[in-house]
Amino acid sequence: MTKSAVSPGGQSPIALPEQVEVPLDNDLEMLRIRRIGKKLFDVANCVITFGNAIPPGVEDNPSMADLETAFCHDISLSDEIVVVHDVCKHTSLGSHRAVSGAPYIRFYASYPVHNQDRALVGNVALVDYAPRPVFRDGDRQALADLAALVERELELRSVNASQLDLQKKNKNLRRKSLIDPLIGTWNRGAIMRILTIEAIRCDKLGLPLSLIVADLDYFKKINDTYGHPAGDAVLVKVASRLRSCIRPQEALGRYGGEEFLIVLPGSSHVTAMAVAERMRAAIAAQPEVIGSATLNLTISAGVASTDMFTTATTEELISRADMALYAAKDAGRNKVMNATPDSL
């Protein structure tokens, strides 16, 4: 962006960086610095400008402060301190509408504001309604100190933004470390952690906890016949169908090669059996096409619940569900079996 308005020193307007983060007009930190400037110099207003962005609302029913702000934004940025003792006598500013008319500005001074790369991004400006024949070295230093406060605030925001971005990236990396890279479900470590957390929570709340161990039937034959890329594609589609059968508070994870673990907090064995049966039906309902071949996919599943095994640990629940899964396999596959004390 380039500010092409009145230039107090007669120099050409300075081109600004394309990306200038403009603080809002109601920015609390910037308002605090402005109040300090107004009190320190005993002026009508202290304005902080960034680029040529005029804060919202200045054009609509402007107040005196709005007019002062618009005046400061109309002046091209300078990379040096600017002091105009009597604006009326200035060759270019004297004809400005805020000088010849309300609010009749008579004094203007500004100091440049730079970003961390030392690029000019704005300034701190002072305006008043009476000329100031004297603006001492101490005043110039105080204005420079005020600009330094603005630069420090911009630097802090840049650091905070970088930290937030880093935290976001780290969070994404942590999440990726918990996700199976092929099928997009929780990996074994993550689903086991979820199971442990949910077991503790359900125990405290007096709720049942159920889990399902599901296995894709004849998966080795698919890999051996059509190759591992085809087998991977099948696993992705199976995982998607299984995921569609559970609620947001339930979790699906890849427990082994073609084996899945589904954690159902708050579900009884009756509910878990219904979910497992829904999963079995979803897989069997639609054949998968690999090249010219059509595969009728099926799963076998075992269910175990704390309402059937009240003192079981999470490892014991998985063992019970595994045993029920083997029973489903032995019964001909494409079946769901529930682990019960009587079935042991």
Which is catalytic among the residues 258, 259, 288, 316?
A: 258
Give the residue from 154, 291, 271 showing the smallest Cα distance to 229: 291
HSE-up of residue 34 (Cα within 13 Å, Cβ side) = 19
Q: Is 258 a catalytic residue?
A: yes
260 close to 213: Cβ distance less than 8 angstroms: yes
List the structure tokens of 284: 């069997």
Provide the residue type at 186 as one letter: W
Provide the residue type at 180 as one letter: D
Known catalytic residues are 258
